[in-house]
Structure 1
Amino acid sequence: MAKGKSGNGDKDKAGLAALSPFELKDELIKAAGGGAVARPANASMLNAGRGNPNFLATIPRHGFWQLGLFAMRESERSFAYMPEGVGGFPKREGLTERFELFVRENKGVPGISFLAGAVSYVRDQLGLSAGDFLYEMCEGILASNYPVPDRMLKLSELIVGQYLRREMIGEHPFVGEFDVFAVEGGTAAMTYIFNTMRENHLIKPGDTIALGMPIFTPYIEIPRLNDYQLNVVNLNAAVENNWQYSKKELDKLRDPKVKAFFLVNPSNPPSVRINDESLEYIAEIVKERPDLILLTDDVYGTFADNFVSLFALAPKNTILVYSYSKYFGATGWRLGTIATHRDNVLDRLIGELPKEAKKELHHRYESITTEPDKLKFIDRLVADSRTVALNHTAGLSTPQQVQMVLFSLFSLMDTPDAYKNALKRLIRSRKKALFEEIGLTFPDDDENQVDYYTILDMEYLGERAFGREFVDWLLKNTEPQELLFRLAADARVVLLPGLGFGTAHPSGRVSLANLNESDYRAIGRAVRKLIEEYVERFNSATGKKLDKSKVK
């Protein structure tokens, strides 16, 4: 990986530089799993690259399985005379009483008390029918019917909406109602939103959008695709500014050429939530630019202290994307949501399209509604997700929606935030262990730090520890990805390149969610060893005498 090589080596470097960090991860894993460096037979690779958590919420999962058993008992009440294993739909009449009997019969079984509490919460706190809720959940978990309504099951949307209100809006004033579309994780949300914005002429090739950088890599890659061909303006959050956007960066949104602003909040990979001042500043810009579309991807918001989404401050201009994957340890479930205010800029802009564009869209959606011109943006998302023609079979699978509802109720019922606080303690203790072993200390009083990930910014940390001369030498004598490949090959530690997320400096993203505390200590020791080696090389090359032990 050293500079100065040519031929195939340069081609390899060019190819690696073009890879998404998630694809480069596979190359780093290969480097960590082989090579000429001798390793103990029991050495294990430490993959802190991808952000899949190693924790998960158990209580709502227990509830899911117990609900499934109850639903099966309900199904078997129909066609009971047939021995061939034929069941039917649950029966609405007497369902609540039979559920109460099921709870008494299974008292003490994991998940039962949670289910009983969930039904009580739905009835007593949300004011919904317990019988209607149980029927929707039983039919949903049996997967015995198409998702109806296709955007989201009726009571499920209300309950998930309450969860989003609590976690994304909190105590912030919020006027009006919003709609929710249940989707196959945050990745599906991104795909659907880009596509429907294009199909409805909200963005077109040559248009300009803004990205809050650094950001989840697909937001960088999608606009470049031939499907979209968008121009991108970057709003850069700086490590020197605690990963906050300056007013100068945010003022880029005042340019009328910028059609939309996409951001991840808290950020990925720095894991810092946008401070209140910046959120209010964006909301003020929106008042001046009421046509500006905002998309906020808030998957990490539930790990933050006192989180408030941009959706709360500028609801009529904002598309909210939220995924259950990280907080509940449910990446395999593929559970995500898209929410839009019922009075939103997207519907208004569609209504203001030129006559020819409206005619085209009328024809696009006329097979699914008698009033295609009045079809809301969020319902266009649903239709477009199934190429319009398959709109009648759209919708997230009903068992997925049931698990989403149970996750939501678990959080709503956890009034002291016991689960949330436990996760915060877990990941923050891991960060402390990592930096203790590197030999670095950080102030822990930044209320905007979330710590799901952390960034090892080699330029920023190197200058802080050893001065600018060392950093300039390091950048001149190493490739941006060399340090990552050295960690992989020598210490079997896999990190993702921060540059792939749009960071300004060479860096490594460390997920603090997917390994144990002792593993982060091992990663810290490996990083420190590598730093010390480069300090020795610097001293040898320059005749300086930096003290490698004085990392601070």
Structure 2
Amino acid sequence: MSTTPDAYQKFRHLSPFELKDELIKLASGRAQRAMLDAGRGNPNFLATLPRQGFFQLGMFAAADSALTFSYMAEGVGGVPRREGIEARFEAFLADNQNVPGISFLRRAVSYVRDQLGLPADEFLLEITSGILGCDYPTPPRMLRYTEKVVRHYLLHEMAGGTMPESTTNLFALEGGTAAISYIFASLRENGLIKPGDKAAIGMPVFTPYVEIPELRDYQLQEVAINASPEQGWQYPDEELDKLLDPSVKIFLVVNPSNPPSVRISDEGLARIAEIVKKRPDLIIVTDDVYGTFADDFRSIYAICPHNTILVYSFSKYFGSTGWRLGVIAMHEQNVLDEALAALPEAEKVELDKRYASLTPDVRGLKFLDRPVADSRTVALNHTAGLSTPQQVQMVLFALFALIDGRDAYKNALKRLLHRRELALYRDLGVKAPDDAGSTHYYTLIDLVNVVTQLYGTRFARWLMTRMDYQTILFRIAEETGVVLLPGDGFAVKRPSARASLANLNEYQYAAIGAALRRMAGEYYDRYRQEKGLNSKGE
């Protein structure tokens, strides 16, 4: 493939995640060279213990089901029974005490019973039936005890355990991206956002979050709330103050950010809280999937619960992108329910018709219950909800984190990611960024800053005039075998490349740094030849 600027033009409007496939083709084009894909942020680590517990729970559930029709030899089982289930479970644990995952299950059920005060037999019945997938998700929004456990985990991680749990409700669904899709669809269907409304977006940001509001489905006007690289990727006051504009209906933000991977500082959170006091009608949607990787993390939901929809996915922290596990969290008293109550009567009548099959009191139907119905085009609401085996794996992930009192798993992941980042920049030959509140899950390689540190300002200017920034990543892929994603695809204003630090091993990140350093050196040699300079650049 040619990597001239003209050849690149046809890919200019692709999402970075689609562009990645073209870069991979280039990077893997030479048989004698290994391709290093630091593009998509799918982690190469995962939590093993809650998975072992999941499979052992499945064995117990299958055996317990078989008791009901044990007289039949054809492999027919029945629905697990509540009576005696705790004793049968304890017997199963005792018979398999040396099997991986059994000790975890014992501790998990103990935590539910002894720490959360939930009835062990009812919880066991829920997860035993759930892992068998023998009934529709009931309630459709989320299984009863699963919601209580996951809520406890979520508020522990997102709010430091400072919020009363009974005021938060959850909707379990197929990951964070499904959450955003469902939220925007229900906001539109319920007249809470309309074509022409302004949607503020914290930038840089995960690319689809820029693309969604622009779709014909929504036709929203985007207002960029730009984080400052000079301020450690925090949002300056003058940027956040754009939210004071009453025509801005919604603020969508990823916290910690993607790709800068930095959490909003306490000062930034306080500023947002001040703005919400002046804009009590502002709707905030915060995607906090990377929050568990940040030190001292607090969600916007913790400080502005009445205005905020919290989206969380289990995908990155537990290495479970294939499981598609996420939740939407909302406060019992919230601005969206207030906005529904304030709609014009004519719009209320239309919504009465839309949701009439669900309840005789449509106007009392909370917003959080509407995406559940909308996800099944309302008429199929009785089949809504995340599959019960998925919810069981979700609750086991949550319990795994909750019973890890020393945060051993969390600290191990933090060390792993930080070492990878240090290895990349060490072999690149420049200092690694050290932004306060960084998760180190991604790194933004500032191309101008890197070559300036390596060879000086004059060379950096020369390189940027000789090479179209849009082709740099194609050349990097073709010449070094390294796949990075373009920063401008994430609304980063400076020439930069995003590298995921989650999906390769430490020596491979060192190899990426060395390959980029080698490529920069080759361009510097051309620069010296053109300028007639010696090896010292004189």
Residue 432 of structure 1, CA deviation: 0.6
Choose which of 3, 16, 19 in structure 2 pairs with 1:24.
Answer: 19
For the residue of structure 2 that corresponds to 1:332, the secondary structure is coil
Residue 177 of structure 1, CA deviation: 1.0
The Cα offsets for residues 282-304 of structure 1, whole Å up to 9 and x where unpaired, read as: 01100100000001100000000
CA distance in 1, matches of 2:70, 2:532: 87
CA distance in 2, matches of 1:375, 1:318: 18
Q: Structure 1 residues 128 and 540 mapped into 2: Cα distance closer, same or farther (>3 Å)?
A: same
For the residue of structure 2 that corresponds to 1:234, the secondary structure is strand
Aligned position for 1:376: 366
For the residue of structure 2 that corresponds to 1:262, the secondary structure is strand
Choose which of 316, 323, 326 in structure 2 pairs with 1:333.
Answer: 323
CA distance in 1, matches of 2:446, 2:216: 32
CA distance in 1, matches of 2:450, 2:535: 15
Question: Which residues in structure 2 correspond to 1:385-400 (within 5 Å)?
Answer: 385-400=375-390
Residue 14 of structure 1, CA deviation: 2.5
Does residue 262 (structure 1) correspond to residue 255 (structure 2)? The answer is no
For the residue of structure 2 that corresponds to 1:403, the secondary structure is helix
For the residue of structure 2 that corresponds to 1:216, the secondary structure is coil
CA distance in 2, matches of 1:468, 1:240: 18
Aligned position for 1:527: 516
Question: What amino acid does structure 1 have at the position aligned with 2:313?
Answer: S
CA distance in 1, matches of 2:225, 2:436: 22
Residue 483 of structure 1, CA deviation: 2.0
Choose which of 177, 180, 201 in structure 1 pairs with 2:167.
Answer: 177
CA RMSD in angstroms, aligned pairs only: 1.8
Choose which of 484, 497, 500 in structure 1 pairs with 2:473.
Answer: 484
Choose which of 461, 464, 477 in structure 2 pairs with 1:472.
Answer: 461
Using the size of structure 2 for normalisation, the TM-score is: 0.97
Counting aligned pairs with the same residue, the percent is 58
Choose which of 318, 321, 339 in structure 1 pairs with 2:308.
Answer: 318
Residue 412 of structure 1, CA deviation: 0.5
Choose which of 10, 15, 27 in structure 2 pairs with 1:15.
Answer: 10
CA distance in 2, matches of 1:355, 1:276: 41
CA distance in 1, matches of 2:533, 2:14: 37
Question: What amino acid does structure 2 have at the position aligned with 1:28?
Answer: L
Residue 33 of structure 1, CA deviation: 1.9
Aligned position for 1:357: 347
Aligned position for 1:460: 449
CA distance in 2, matches of 1:16, 1:473: 25
Question: Which residues in structure 2 correspond to 1:26-175 (within 5 Å)?
Answer: 26-34=21-29, 40=32, 43-172=33-162
Contact 1:176/1:341 (8 A) holds in 2:
no
Segment drifting more, 382-391 vs 458-467: 458-467
Contact 1:2/1:478 (8 A) holds in 2:
no
Choose which of 223, 235, 245 in structure 2 pairs with 1:233.
Answer: 223
For the residue of structure 2 that corresponds to 1:312, the secondary structure is helix
CA distance in 1, matches of 2:281, 2:164: 20
The Cα offsets for residues 45-86 of structure 1, whole Å up to 9 and x where unpaired, read as: 111101000000000000000000000011000111111111
Residue 306 of structure 1, CA deviation: 1.0
Alignment size in residue pairs: 538
The Cα offsets for residues 389-434 of structure 1, whole Å up to 9 and x where unpaired, read as: 1100000000000000000000000011000000001010000100
For the residue of structure 1 that corresponds to 2:12, the secondary structure is helix
For the residue of structure 1 that corresponds to 2:309, the secondary structure is strand
Question: Which residues in structure 2 correspond to 1:279-294 (within 5 Å)?
Answer: 279-294=269-284
Residue 475 of structure 1, CA deviation: 2.5
CA distance in 1, matches of 2:299, 2:531: 50
CA distance in 2, matches of 1:543, 1:254: 55
For the residue of structure 1 that corresponds to 2:432, the secondary structure is coil
CA distance in 2, matches of 1:204, 1:322: 25
Contact 1:462/1:471 (8 A) holds in 2:
yes
Using the size of structure 1 for normalisation, the TM-score is: 0.94
Q: Structure 1 residues 15 and 97 mapped into 2: Cα distance closer, same or farther (>3 Å)?
A: same
Give the unaligned 5+ runs of structure 1: none
For the residue of structure 2 that corresponds to 1:333, the secondary structure is coil
